[in-house]
Amino acid sequence: MPAMFGRRPGFATLVRIILEQQVSLAAARTMFRRLDVHVGGLAPASIAGIGVAGLRDFGLTRQKAAYCHGLALRVLDGRLDLASVTRSDEDTARTRLLEVPGIGPWSVDIYFLMALRRPDVWPQGDLALAIAMREVRGMRGLPSRDQQQKIARRWAPWRSVAARILWMHYLARA
């Protein structure tokens, strides 16, 4: 049975997704836990309060610290209403999230899939999925984003299920 990898919708999950970009899940998990413990819970006010320099003190890169701080400010000043994102249709929610520096298509897809539990999401550019797809389909090289999208289209409207199965394959081989 594929793991659900579920997360609660909201600010803390978006911070965690930012931390997971282009690093191992173990490294991201360590940064997230360190930050959560030392800040006393990942809330927009606490992240905004310690600032970019404070976030850097917890091991975040300059860029990730700026992204997390910027996200906190957007939530606090109302430019990003996460409850509204949760209730919105996919196009509206995607547009709102993509306006936030540090949140790109992959981050939105992961948020939709893991936090909002949308059933038909294919995480664009996910390396683990590309590796698993290559192995399962017997491909010579890693499939490009376009190739992945084309293959994944056949799994609609359950692409999220296919992604979870392929992640389980990827994790089982490690």
Render pLDDT for 110-162 as a digit per residue (tens, 0 to 9): 999 999 999 999 998 899 999 999 999 999 999 999 999 999 999 999 999 99
For the whole model, what pTM was predicted? 0.92
Domains and CATH numbers, the chain: 11-115 (1.10.340.30), 127-173 (no CATH)
| Average pLDDT score, the chain | 93
Span 88-95, mean pLDDT?
A: 96
Under a CB-based contact definition with an 8 Å cutoff, are residues 70 and 101 in contact? Answer: yes
Q: Residues for the chain: how many in total?
A: 174
Residue with tokens 């906190």: 72
What Å distances lie between residue 169 and 14, 21, 89, 135, CA to CA?
25, 21, 31, 9
Dihedral pair phi/psi, residue 116, rounded to 5°: -90, -10
- Identify the pLDDT of residue 50: 94
Q: Is the dihedral of CA 136, 162, 6, 23 positive or negative?
A: positive
Dihedral pair phi/psi, residue 74, rounded to 5°: -65, -40
- Identify the pLDDT of residue 2: 65
Selection from 23, 110, 6, 105 nearest residue 64 by Cα: 23
- Identify the pLDDT of residue 22: 84
DSSP state of 143: P
